[in-house]
Amino acid sequence: MRARKMFPAWFEVVFFTLILVVSLSLTYRFHKRFGYFTWKSEIWADRAGYYVFLPATFYYHWDLKKAPQGMDEKTGYGFVYDTKHNVISTKYSCGLAFPLAPFFISVHYIAKIFGIPRDDGFAPVFHRMVNVAAVIYLVLGLFFLFRFLRHYFSELASYLGIFFLFAGTNLFYYAIADTLMAHVYNFFLVALYLFSLKKYLENPAKYRYFIFACIALALVVLIRPTSLLLIILFFLLDVRSLDELKARLAVMFRAKHLPVLVLILLIGYIPQLLYNHYVSGQYIRYLYDDSFANLFAPRLLEVWFSTMNGLFIYTPLMILFIAGMVMMVRKKAANAWISLILFLVYSYVFASWTCWYFGCSFGQRSFIDLFPVFAIPFTFLIENSIGGKRWLRTGIIAFFLLFFSWYNVRLSRAHEECFFGSTWDWNRFGQLLNKAKILPFKPGFAYMNDYENAAICNGGETTSLISRSGNHSLVFNPNHEFNGYFMEYPANMVRDSVMKRLKIKLFLFKTSGTPTGALIVCSAEKDGKMLFWSSRPVDVPMARTRQWYAVPVNFDIPKDLDPWAEMKVYIWNKEKITFYIDDFEINAE
């Protein structure tokens, strides 16, 4: 039941207006530093792959001959010009084009009226358009979520819930910084879905809300198919008992409900089917090979706790979400199990994905789509922990809300688009915390590469056919003479002293009994002049074939080496034979 109002009517307008103005200011300040057509600009790589549907539809009508030359390369190959078939190819869904279309069309006509360059949809004005769209959908998502939460909680708890959900999670980063990724738009759609569904369940006479809920779900599924799991909310939201579940199922299986929902979902997917046929001649295509490589060995610990985008490491506010879920279950509150079940199911799905860390991300970004659902236990925790005579609990929860939000904002500002470390690279993560001014001291130098993170493989070919840890190892064969590249300045590797030694350890897998003949090379050069060069063999006496074995190597560094020389370490496959390496570590003394 809705609690009585605590704030005057104007407070809601002021609250959401402040979030809008502050967010627009933050996103402007963030993006003005990076310019256009760089790896940090709005329309680049994956983001360009989502975006290209708009200019391709409204400017060059999917005719490659009319497309701006070289724009696929200029935007980081998020989409590709297939000159052989005269098509514009992207592996990303067309779903994000729909919420962006009103902004794109508006900016097109505004630019036309005022004579602002449009550059066939890739001009600076369209880059800035994306940032405005993300902030507006953020505010709309928070607004609908607030109205949804008000059905269950007080105004104060609902305001606190949505504010800290924004300030304390990576929703902040994807609304302010990475504005063309799908997550803030999915957040809005799921919030709209929950709001509309709740309105309809309260008053079935308002059938339009059922249609709104179906359309919101269809769009979020078009953007991210795994969101189809949210269909269970049609059957489980507010259900408290088996009898209520039977009644809900009986209602939802009527002709005006489930068939209509399925029809809207199918209609919503037609644009993607048409695009698939345009680009491949087939209505169904799938471009993510070996997508669920971890299906029978899910990387749950990594998804939750890895330094490489781990959920609780980057968004520790999730601890309070989970605490709220447990509290709801213990108190047998309405919807107690929904959030917990969805959290576990989605964790398993994401942990089963080959790229479980989701590439260049700030935390586990795919969970953002579920934040409107998680807002229920989160706000439940706030309502049942703050206020009254519970001074100690209020103080503890308030501290963690503020601390986790401060942590999130600081870490968001320091994040470099990608995490340039390995799965459990606490040293590299410590450096990130130091950069964010969260950690009061700078960790010492240590390098490790388990070849799970494509961002630090420096173009080297990896394989999932064999690995010592994780899913991948680095490949050496006749096509890869040099690989395993590392470069750093000695001045950054040892503080307050002169570097004396490099200690290296890696693991090697031979495919035959023949020695590899490969060398680990350590060199230093500056201004094109070689200052130091040394090598060690990777072959170990009596090493077994087709088994991983450790290769420990030390290099003594000249005392007079320039601290700003380029120190390089790499593997030289002199004989060009096939072998693999994994878990490469470098420590400086």
Q: DSSP characters for 332-379?
A: T-TTHHHHHHHHHHHHHHHHHSTTTT-SS-SS-GGGGGGHHHHHHHHH
Amino acid at site 545: T
How far apart, in Å, are the Cα atoms of 447 and each of 424, 425, 553, 588? 11, 8, 15, 9
Q: Which two tokens stand for residue 532?
A: 């130091």
- For position 12, what pLDDT does the model report? 95
Rounded Cα distance between 359 and 281, Å, is: 29
Q: Which two tokens stand for residue 255?
A: 């002709």
**Around Cβ 571, how many Cβ atoms within 10 Å?**
27
pTM for this predicted structure: 0.93
Q: 329: exposed, middle or buried (C-beta count within 10 Å: 0-12, 13-18, 19+)? A: middle
Domain ranges of the chain: 9-33+123-410, 447-588
The CATH number, out of the four listed (2.60.120.260, 3.40.605.10, 2.60.40.3080, 3.90.79.10), of the domain defined by the range 447-588: 2.60.120.260
CA quadruple 355, 357, 358, 359: dihedral, nearest 10: -90
Helix (H, G, I), strand (E, B) or coil at 468: coil
How far apart, in Å, are the Cα atoms of 135 and each of 41, 188, 350? 16, 11, 26
> How far is C-alpha 358 from the chain's CA centre?
5
**Where do we find the tokens 């909680």?**
153
pLDDT tens for the 589 residues of the chain, in order: 455 678 888 999 999 999 999 999 999 999 988 888 988 899 999 999 999 999 999 999 999 999 999 999 999 999 999 999 899 999 999 999 999 999 999 999 999 999 999 888 999 999 999 999 999 999 999 999 999 999 999 999 999 999 999 999 999 999 999 999 999 999 999 999 999 999 999 999 999 999 999 999 999 999 999 999 999 999 999 999 999 999 999 999 999 999 999 999 999 999 999 999 999 999 988 766 567 888 889 999 999 999 999 999 999 999 999 999 999 999 999 899 999 999 999 999 999 998 899 989 999 999 999 999 999 999 999 999 987 777 888 999 999 999 999 999 999 999 988 999 999 999 999 999 999 999 988 888 889 999 999 888 877 889 988 999 988 999 999 888 888 889 999 988 887 777 889 999 999 999 888 899 999 999 999 998 999 999 999 998 878 889 999 999 999 999 889 989 999 999 999 999 999 999 999 999 8
Q: Which two tokens stand for residue 410?
A: 């600081």
Residue whose C-alpha is closest to residue 369's, from 95, 51, 56 = 95
- For position 289, what pLDDT does the model report? 58
Residue whose C-alpha is closest to residue 424's, from 452, 386, 458 = 452
- For position 7, what pLDDT does the model report? 86
- For position 290, what pLDDT does the model report? 60
Task: Transcribe 379-416 into DSSP letters.
Answer: HHHHHTTSSTT-HHHHHHHHHHHHHHHHHHHHHHHH--
